[in-house]
Structure 1
Amino acid sequence: MNRNQGKIVIGMIVAGLIILLGKLGFFSFVGHAFWPLLILLPGIMLQLFYFSRSIPSYLLVPAGILTVYGVLFFLCNTWGWWLMDYLWPLLITGIALGLYEYYAMSPFRVDGRIGIAAILLGLLSAVLLLISILGSALLYIIAILLVVSVGWIFFTQNGYKRPRL
């Protein structure tokens, strides 16, 4: 058997293995389980390329967005898409992170409004995530805090004197 025949045999074995794995559902499982990596890996790669100084800093915006979205989709794909009912504010976090990375890491002077917008988006995302996770329990927490704070104000005023028994 010459060299070319050996390569043909190896190619046929590899093709047969690929067809067999496809028929057994391996590629379907891998595609279903790991598709969020198609979003996560470009985000990580963009960040690595920036830190190796081979791409401009404005590409940190999509890098942050893709990284957060990839992690979020990977979590939901692994543990169930019902998590998106509670974790949807993290979509805003991706935008906030991308903008903040651009603002903080850019070697050029970047408009400060970008940093402020990133921080405000991050705070909005945190508040919405808290509301999303706590749901109706948040109303009870607010009510208890209001009662306690009014009571504290009422009983700590200088003019208030306790009645004698």
Structure 2
Amino acid sequence: MARNSYSIGILLIGLAVLLLLGKLGVIHFIFSFFWPLVLLAPGLLFHILYFNRTWPAGVLVPGGILTTYGLMFFFCNIFGWGSMSYLWPGFILGVAIGLYELHLFDRGSDRGVWIGALVLGIISVVLFGITLLVKLGIYVIALILVAAGLLMIFRRKNVW
């Protein structure tokens, strides 16, 4: 009986600590920062289960998608959700990564899987480039002008 009350006492103290942490906002802070683990953990689990030869290669598609999305959301949690205006082509890239992993690790996959991954990857990279050009266009132009100026200065030494 004493052993049973000891366990219940520890359980009650743990519950009280959990309630106090919740009231102080610690649990909300932890969940608000680490919620992308809800996507990242299953994505990584799919990869682990495939590489342990437990599940077939088809799980790499959702694994790649969930892992990519989880990393994107962690990035947004760290650097702010305004960065999603730059990262939105990553949603297309996640599907491309999942399909490419299926093509890479499943020798019986159709050529269409590779073509689909390639097309989606190219679309994603082009959209990333367009987004960066639209959002950071003046900086890109300034960088190109600086590079062109440096090239002109250091290419010919005795022009002056």
Task: List gaps (5 residues or longer) in structure 2.
Answer: 145-160
Q: Distance in 1 between matches of 2:55 and 2:97?
A: 18
State TM-score, norm by structure 2: 0.82
Q: Distance in 2 between matches of 1:73 and 1:44?
A: 15
Q: Distance in 2 between matches of 1:12 and 1:37?
A: 28
Aligned to 2:133: 134
State TM-score, norm by structure 1: 0.80
1:69-148 correspondence to structure 2 within 5 Å:
69-107=69-107, 109-135=108-134, 137=137
Q: Distance in 2 between matches of 1:2 and 1:110?
A: 62
Q: Distance in 2 between matches of 1:15 and 1:96?
A: 44
Alignment RMSD (CA, Å): 1.8
Identical pairs, percent: 45
Name segments (4+ residues, structure 1) moved above 4 Å: none
**1:33-56 alpha-carbon deviations (Å, 9 max, x no partner):** 110111011101100110001011
Aligned to 1:68: 68
Task: List gaps (5 residues or longer) in structure 1.
Answer: 145-165
Aligned to 2:25: 25
Q: Distance in 1 between matches of 2:112 and 2:6?
A: 64
Q: Distance in 2 between matches of 1:132 and 1:37?
A: 27
Q: Distance in 2 between matches of 1:113 and 1:39?
A: 27
Q: Distance in 1 between matches of 2:88 and 2:112?
A: 25
- The count of aligned residue pairs is 140
Aligned to 1:55: 55
Aligned to 1:153: none
**1:74-107 alpha-carbon deviations (Å, 9 max, x no partner):** 1112211111111111111000000010111014
Letter in 1 for 2:99: L
Q: Distance in 1 between matches of 2:2 and 2:23?
A: 32
**Larger-gyration structure (1/2):** 1
Aligned to 2:39: 39
